[in-house]
Amino acid sequence: MDSININEASSKELLGYFQAKLDEEAWEAKKAGKPVCWSASVAPPEFCVAMDIALVYPETHAAGAGARKASMDLLEVADKKGYNIDICSYARTNLGYMELLKQEAMNGEKPELLKTTKAAYVPLPDIVITCNNICNTLLKWYENIAKELNIPCIIIDVPFNHSMPVARHCKEYIADQFRVAIKQLEEFTGRAFDYDKFTKVQEQTQRTVYWWNKIAAYAYRKPSPLNGFDLFNYMALIVCARSRDYGEITFHRFCDELEAKDKAGKYAFGDASTEKHRVTWEGIAVWTFLGATFKGLKAQGSVMTGSCYPGMWSLVYTPGDFESMAEAYTKVYINTCGSNRYEEFYKVVSNSKSDGMVMHLNRSCKLMGLLNNEGGEYVNKKMGIPFVSFDGDQTDPRVFSEAQYLNRVQALSEMMDAQA
């Protein structure tokens, strides 16, 4: 891969560079006989990074495949393996892709689709780590990877918080699992866990999270220098590199750029007059129609200024304190009871000074769909602002209807106009 001048590159260049670098590092590890771990997106990476284990993130990989219009072919591979069309499309995209990698490993030759797919080329895992703070689907999905490849599976089970604040026995259970995960990694690698390095990795994670949260806060300014859809792109690094300095460097640069933009009077769509409405987007992006969903809002002058989704990586904790880390990983808003979840949603809508809400009823994600209306109604009651819902899917392009989407965001715009 081409090298770049880290000190002079734009945040966008850094994003592309580090994303490619992470894949390259995973391949280098594989070729050197070092382990590669596939990880759930909000599973703690701190343990593997402290043990120098390369990480690959199937959800990010699937999202990338979706954005490049490459997911449909992979979904069909999963379909042939018996994966029902109602299963999460991230999982199906990944399990379809894994099948191609398996065939390559078994036959010594790339299947045709693996040669032509626009999905990034990543190595098969030697171990997996999963965490159910964003859904229990991630337990089932990773069970299947581990079983099919006959590799170890590290589970960090963060029980659904049916009441808040997080109960003590919950934190203790999760902290105990961190200790078990360390033992599993020691047995797997045959090396002792490096606790000093681990603390440094935790500190790095906190710095990355700090800058990540700072980006989102730029959208709270009115007018907003940040186009909220950019968070969907930069998200790749908070997922894949939050325990490395790649995320920190990139996000810091992006913050500098946003600061400069704001000072220059340049905003998400141009000058201040282009920001007609501000909206909160609830749910995962429609990766297969990212451009269409963005343009649909832009056409109405609606800037996305709020979203709970990027905030799921706001994993703030005290390094060296397992229970504090446990709490950060378990209190992801969708892993909490309705009252806390809706209040967290309200905070985002309110902080982002949104005039309306767009709810993605995501066919793939029950946990980010089945309580959307309740969240919308809660905020509507508190702030009196309208919301609309549309049918979509994160990476299965068959579910989304552009016409329905445009119709809904236009209706939202009219409702916001009526309230202005």
* Binding segment toward another protein, per CB under 8 A, in 100-108, 150-158, 213-221, 223-231: 150-158
Least CB distance to another protein at residue 385 (A): 21
Among 177, 206, 243, 280, binds another protein (CB under 8 A): 177
Question: According to the binding rule CB under 8 A, does residue 180 interact with another protein?
Answer: yes
User: Is 188 within 8 Å of 127 (Cβ atoms)?
Assistant: yes
DSSP 60: H
* Spatial distance between the Cα atoms of 390 and 361, rounded to a whole number of angstroms: 6
CB atoms within 10 A of CB 377: 12
Residues 341-380 binding another protein (CB under 8 A) are 341, 361, 363, 365-367, 369-371, 373-374
Among 57, 141, 198, 269, binds another protein (CB under 8 A): 141
Q: Which is nearer to another protein, 20 or 370 (CB)?
A: 370
User: Is 259 within 8 Å of 224 (Cβ atoms)?
Assistant: no
User: Is 27 within 8 Å of 54 (Cβ atoms)?
Assistant: no
Q: Please measure the distance between the N-terminal and C-terminal CA atoms of the chain and give it in whole angstroms.
A: 50
Residues 375-404 binding another protein (CB under 8 A) are none
Among 143, 257, 262, 402, binds another protein (CB under 8 A): 143
Numbers of helices and strands, H then E, in the chain: 16, 8
Cα within 13 Å of Cα(121), Cβ side: 12
Question: According to the binding rule CB under 8 A, does residue 149 interact with another protein?
Answer: no
Among 170, 237, 297, 348, binds another protein (CB under 8 A): 170
197: tokens are 């390095």
Q: C-alpha angle 247/343/375, rounded to 5°?
A: 100
* Binding segment toward another protein, per CB under 8 A, in 21-29, 55-63, 83-91, 294-302: 83-91
Q: Is 353 left (phi over 0), alpha (psi -120 to 50) or beta?
A: left
Cβ-based burial of 152 (10 A; exposed 0-12, middle 13-18, buried ≥19): middle
Among 69, 81, 191, 222, binds another protein (CB under 8 A): 81
Among 94, 133, 144, 250, binds another protein (CB under 8 A): 144
* Binding segment toward another protein, per CB under 8 A, in 104-112, 169-177, 217-225, 239-247: 169-177
Number of residues assigned to the chain = 420
Among 111, 159, 319, 397, binds another protein (CB under 8 A): 159
Helix (H) or strand (E) holding 225: none
Q: Which is nearer to another protein, 167 or 316 (CB)?
A: 167
Question: According to the binding rule CB under 8 A, does residue 156 interact with another protein?
Answer: yes
Least CB distance to another protein at residue 144 (A): 6
Question: From the centroid of its chain, how far is CA 409?
Answer: 24
Among 69, 115, 147, 398, binds another protein (CB under 8 A): 147
- Residue recorded with tokens 């905020």: 379
306 φ/ψ angles, rounded to the nearest 5 degrees = -135, 145
Q: Which is nearer to another protein, 27 or 322 (CB)?
A: 322
* Spatial distance between the Cα atoms of 128 and 59, rounded to a whole number of angstroms: 13
Among 157, 262, 323, 343, binds another protein (CB under 8 A): 157
Residues 86-105 binding another protein (CB under 8 A) are 86-88, 91, 95
Give the interface with another protein as residue ranges (CB under 8 A).
81-84, 86-88, 91, 95, 132, 135-137, 139-144, 146-148, 153-157, 159-160, 162-163, 167, 169-170, 172-173, 176-177, 180, 184, 337-338, 341, 361, 363, 365-367, 369-371, 373-374
